[in-house]
Amino acid sequence: MSASFARGPYIGRSIARRPELLRFIKGQGRYVDDMALPHMLHAVVLRSPHAHARIVGIDASQARQAHGVAAVITASDIGHHLRPIPVRLNPYNTLDPYLQHPLATDRVRYVGEPVALIIATTPYLAEDARDLVEVEFDPLPVMVDAESEAVECPLFDAAQDNVASRMTAGFGDIDAALAEADEIIDFDFRTGRDSAVPLETRGLLAHYDESSERLAVWGASKVVHFNRSVLASMLDMPEHRIHLIEPDVGGGFGARGEFYPEDFLIPFAALSLRRPVKWIEDRMEHLLAINHSRQQTYRMKLGVARDGTLLGIRVDLTNDMGGYLRTHGIIVPEMSAGFFPGPYRWQAYQCNARAVMTNKTPTGTYRCPGRFECNSARERILDVAANRLGMDPVALRRKNLIPAELMPYTVGTRALGEDVVYDSGDYPAALEEVLRLSGYEALRAAAAPQDDRKIRGVGVGCFTEKTGKGPFGGARVLVDATGGVEVRTGASSLGQGLKTSLAQIVADVLTVDPRIIEVRHGDTDLIPFGVGSFASRATVMAGNAAHQAATAIRDRALDVVARAWSVPVDAVHFENGVARGPGARSMTLREIASRSGPAHSGDPQGTLDVTRYFRSDHMAYSHGAVVAEVELDRLLGKVTPLRLWVVYDVGTVINPDIVAAQVEGGAAQAVGGAFFEEFIYDEDGQLLTGSFMDFLLPTADVVPSMQHRDLQLSPSPLNPLGVKGAGEAGVAGTGAALANAVADALGKTWGDQVNQLPMTPQRVWAWAGLDHHSGMDGRQTAIDQHQATRSAQKQSQGATAEDMK
């Protein structure tokens, strides 16, 4: 299978001197906090210190009198504009009771919920005034445990309990499949509450320009068109009077750029005060206020045949949603339920999922949402099953991976409103390649422990990854009178190399140097429709739209040339950006541009300005496999990730360096999720890991060295370029492989206890049995157990125990 486009010199190449990089290297990036406008005011948010409380009263009189204060805005000041923030993806009206208003009215439901906005001439004075706002709270019972069945206090008056949604997914006869199984494995797995922590916190600058009667908002990103439409509807303004602009963005990873309370409050303040208002989120409020994600519990029952054939699995899934449903609604548990089956064939699968409201920060998506979690849970139970059967974990996977000849493969579940159908991929090839790349057999053999400070463990994880979510992506390509080429798109750039990728695609069509192509994005004035950048979709959607628009431009240009020369169109072609035809005649893009357009003869519509929207109703699925090697210092519970190998197939690769950086960055974030990052709450709903002292990001010294390889065997048949998204492939299976590696290091007896991410030292120490086998007495047993496990696995592969020596 090959993609249906003519490959030029740029697609597939890591072009040097990427135009979008130089600015950053020279410190010329422009982030929202780099911007200032005359007479600008600064806003700070007063946030609830309570996890659940009634607001009895707010007295802002003292704050309003304070030095430098322009306004204090509470819910009552917003009046009829105070409306719930709608769900962006898969909205159902049953979710309406759980939506958040930009400011709390009579009740707060998490620590950090916005209660008032204070606007002053400097951020210092705004913070001083914030301390003067007096809010009287009447505390209510706090719900922090989504797994608890108790409903001491429903969080929402309009709702009967704290379960916002119950979902089911599945196929086949699960009872029959489990009844048929030789072994039944019950296993629970939890993933910790986590979030993207982009280097740049959120921030907004809003300004209402009275001369043009337009409201401009800088600092929007990700989904600027959707956010404009929400803002327009909340402010009762037509969309054309609102202009959302994405400046440079220091990372998004799903969390940044959604419509948050501040995305209403700051424009509202600017509109009300008729002065520019800036708000820059500080890191402490960032950790409380940005969407959290990942907090899920899986209770699984797996039925497997003695030969390792996977028969069926029943999954009970609980997703802690936090205090409100935000713009992602319930898609995270929906995706977990829909994608849990992964790259394997199952006779039957049944998932019951609950989206439970708690008094914690509301949740949304974080890179690979719902799949980092379900992949980790699934890959762990597969290793537990392999242990039980005395099989090598790889042998179990080999037996069950969907073979390439079954592509396209209909899984039997749904996600994001469509049937899950894997479009292409050679899943076994990815596994074999990562085994080869890592030298898996040698790693396993070398991993026999000599010293309990240095116990090696090796783990594998396989994954599929949905990408290229529709419904459409758009691009407008223009050639101006100077021959300059501009691409405008509704996709956004959160630092993922969008400009370079689109420029390479257009460059190949027009046979020009990609460095002369200007790609503009993230601006609602540029193009009327846009879906944005999320779900690994920008290159798939906007890339194909840009390809189509550029192709139309090329055809029109050739038509102009053919007419000018009075030759048939197929007698002219582009070479190095110049049209060439019979008799060594040539015409530059500039000359062509000067001959086209409404003012010229010929077709007045035939301008070198083409907008194309690429539509797709089916997602493209990338896939891959990961091997992780870790070292365990058992008595300390200390795990050092040593090496990672990631093999992936994302279809046609536009720029290998960009894809590689995506994979590496994603894998580093998976290390964070696997070992370090966790939002921990106490029983009163107070966030205990609310600063970088306690919410630990992976630093350079804990991110292992990585090798990765792009298979490029399986272009997507769903789009002309054959591309699949690459943004999440590094995360998808890496948490799973790391967890399996830690379990392997712990050995047979204790390894099966690895049932939670992040794998903190204390958890590893407890899994190692040291909390009840005090001190160093358990050491020898650990090594014996480890060797016993290895022996059993070796024997299952037909080797003898002597090979171990």
Partner 1 sequence: MKPAPFEYHAPETVDEVLELLDQHGFDAKILAGGQTLGPLLNMRMAAPEVLIDINRVKALDYQRHEDDGGLTLGALTRQSTLEDDAQMPQRQPLIAAAEPEVAHRAIRNRGTVGGSLAHADPAAEWPGLAVALDAELVLQRHGGASRTIAALDFFEGALATVIEPEEMLTEIRIPPWRNTSGWGFHEFNRRHGDFALAGAMVRLDLAADGGCRGVAIALIGVEDTPIRAGAAEQFLRSQRVDDAALQEAARRAADNVTPMHDIHASADYRRSLTRTLAYRALADAAARATRIPS
Residues β-bridged to residue 214: 209
User: What is the SS3 assignment for 113-138?
Assistant: CEEEEEEECCHHHHHHHHCCCEEEEE
The least CB distance from residue 762 to partner 1, in Å, is: 5
At which residue do the structure tokens 């759980």 appear?
98
The least CB distance from residue 111 to partner 1, in Å, is: 15
Instruction: Indicate the length of the chain as a whole number.
Output: 805
The least CB distance from residue 34 to partner 1, in Å, is: 18
What the block records as the tokens of 734 is 């890496």
CB 493 within 8 A of CB 487: no
Count CB neighbours of 689 within 10 A.
Answer: 17
What the block records as the tokens of 233 is 């509807």
Angle at 29 between CA 226 and CA 666, to 5 degrees: 65
Nearer to partner 1, 443 or 738 (CB): 738
DSSP 356-403: EE-SS--B---SSTTHHHHHHHHHHHHHHHHHHHT--HHHHHHHHBPP
CA distance to 313, 374, 633, 710, 713, per residue, from 430 (Å): 24, 20, 31, 9, 10
Nearer to partner 1, 261 or 698 (CB): 698
The least CB distance from residue 176 to partner 1, in Å, is: 45
- Residue 546, helix vs strand vs coil: helix
Q: How far is CA 80 from its chain centroid?
A: 34
The least CB distance from residue 702 to partner 1, in Å, is: 5
Nearer to partner 1, 690 or 720 (CB): 690
Nearer to partner 1, 31 or 171 (CB): 31
Nearer to partner 1, 236 or 777 (CB): 777
The least CB distance from residue 67 to partner 1, in Å, is: 10
The least CB distance from residue 696 to partner 1, in Å, is: 6
Nearer to partner 1, 671 or 726 (CB): 671
Nearer to partner 1, 404 or 696 (CB): 696
Indicate the residue type of 397: R
Please tell me what DSSP assigns to residue 84: P
The least CB distance from residue 674 to partner 1, in Å, is: 13
DSSP 695-750: SPPPPTTTSPEEEEEE------TTSTT-B---TTHHHHTHHHHHHHHHHHHHHHHH
Nearer to partner 1, 151 or 688 (CB): 688
CB 469 within 8 A of CB 618: no
The least CB distance from residue 701 to partner 1, in Å, is: 5
At which residue do the structure tokens 């706090």 appear?
142
CB 577 within 8 A of CB 506: no
Which of 258, 236, 292 has its CA nearest to residue 244? Answer: 258
List residues near partner 1 by CB under 8 A.
Answer: 123-124, 127-128, 131, 282-284, 635-638, 676, 680, 688-689, 691, 693-694, 696, 698-699, 701-702, 760-762, 765-766, 770-771, 774-776
Which of 261, 284, 282, 267 has its CA nearest to residue 116? Answer: 261
Angle at 19 between CA 18 and CA 20, to 5 degrees: 95
The least CB distance from residue 106 to partner 1, in Å, is: 28
The least CB distance from residue 675 to partner 1, in Å, is: 8
Nearer to partner 1, 597 or 637 (CB): 637
Nearer to partner 1, 28 or 699 (CB): 699
Nearer to partner 1, 762 or 797 (CB): 762
The least CB distance from residue 455 to partner 1, in Å, is: 14
Residues β-bridged to residue 42: 120, 278
Query: φ, ψ for residue 198 (rounded to 5)?
Result: -60, 150
Nearer to partner 1, 446 or 636 (CB): 636
The least CB distance from residue 773 to partner 1, in Å, is: 10
Q: End-to-end alpha-carbon separation of the chain, Å? A: 47
What the block records as the tokens of 353 is 């999922």
Nearer to partner 1, 444 or 634 (CB): 634
What the block records as the tokens of 406 is 């079954």
Distance CA 768, CA 753 (A): 8
Nearer to partner 1, 38 or 775 (CB): 775
The least CB distance from residue 664 to partner 1, in Å, is: 19
Residues 6+ apart with CB under 8 A from 772: none
CB 619 within 8 A of CB 468: yes
Nearer to partner 1, 438 or 760 (CB): 760
What the block records as the tokens of 124 is 């210092």
The least CB distance from residue 58 to partner 1, in Å, is: 20
What the block records as the tokens of 796 is 């299952």
What the block records as the tokens of 296 is 């899920």
How many CA within 13 A on the CB side of residue 137?
Answer: 19
